[in-house]
Amino acid sequence: MAIDYVKRPTAAGPAIDLVKVRASAPRLVDLYKSARVSLEKAGMAGQRAAVYLVLDRSGSMRRYYKNGTVQHLAEQALGLAANLDDDGVVPVVFFSTEVDGVADLGLTDYEGRIGALHEGYGRMGRTNYHLAMQAVIDHYADSGATDPAFVIFQTDGSPSSRTAAEHVLCTAARLPIFWQFVAFGNPDDSQFDFLRKLDDLPVPAKRVVDNAGFFPAGDDPRALSDAELYQRLTQEFGSWITAATAAGVIR
């Protein structure tokens, strides 16, 4: 059965107001404010979107879970979500060889939660993007969302099946879902060439609109300021909104 995705009219300000964020999650106030500034600079003040976070659990990611880097990214995602999504909840997809688990992260239950979830999912495996991407697509379709989705897709390496990842991305270009890939690790490593390729897949030869962005966050992603991270996260989102609306992907 076809799913009719409809974008609600853009509102005037953040989805959740500062008073509620301060009461529910005082540690996230600075992130919330920083995300708001970046959205305003990108011309997306008042934009609404369902925010997703996809997290790599391949074996090489162990140190980033251990030192709190992944938890910090999750908190940054929540700061962004509080501006874009009025439920303030970020569905988180953990993946490695398969989808290891899916959980909701909210303003009242985020502290230390990523590490706890990660430990509960057991053995870390290989890297399969396409299964995690399909999990997001399925979750979004089942949610009945009427706003587009903004997916922060974190990884530290190329996928085991590049063909499958490219196929899912190109197929998903007809859905109101934008994929922002974020790489942890040496930005000069050739393993990220595939992510650069995904970012540059031609339109319309491969996909109806450009539905993905990519940036390397470096070996120490926490060294990026919140403002810089949010600027990089949102730099292609606005142009996708425009192109997807013109193409009828967002209706």
- For residue 238, is pLDDT > 70? yes
Give the three-class secondary structure for 153: strand
Residue 191 is predicted with a pLDDT of 86
Residue 8 is predicted with a pLDDT of 38
Q: What value does the mean pLDDT take over residues 1-21?
A: 64
Q: Residue 32 is encoded by which pair of tokens?
A: 């919330």
Domain residue spans in the chain?
18-246
Residue 219 is predicted with a pLDDT of 96
Q: What value does the mean pLDDT take over residues 154-158?
A: 96
| Dist. CA 202–CA 204, nearest whole Å | 6
Instruction: Give pTM, 2 decimals.
Output: 0.94
Percent of the chain whose pLDDT exceeds 90: 92
Residue 4 is predicted with a pLDDT of 36
- Torsion angles phi and psi, residue 54, rounded to 5: -115, 125
- Average pLDDT, rounded, for the chain: 94
DSSP code, position 7: P
| Dist. CA 158–CA 128, nearest whole Å | 8
- For residue 3, is pLDDT > 80? no
Q: Residue 14 is encoded by which pair of tokens?
A: 């953040």
- Closest by CA position to 80, among listed 112, 114, 38: 38
| Dist. CA 74–CA 54, nearest whole Å | 10
pLDDT per residue as tens digits for the range 68-111: 999 999 999 999 999 999 999 999 999 999 999 999 999 999 99
The pLDDT confidence band at residue 64, using thresholds 50, 70 and 90, is: very high
pLDDT per residue as tens digits for the range 112-121: 999 999 999 9
CATH architecture group of domain 18-246: 3-Layer(aba) Sandwich (3.40)
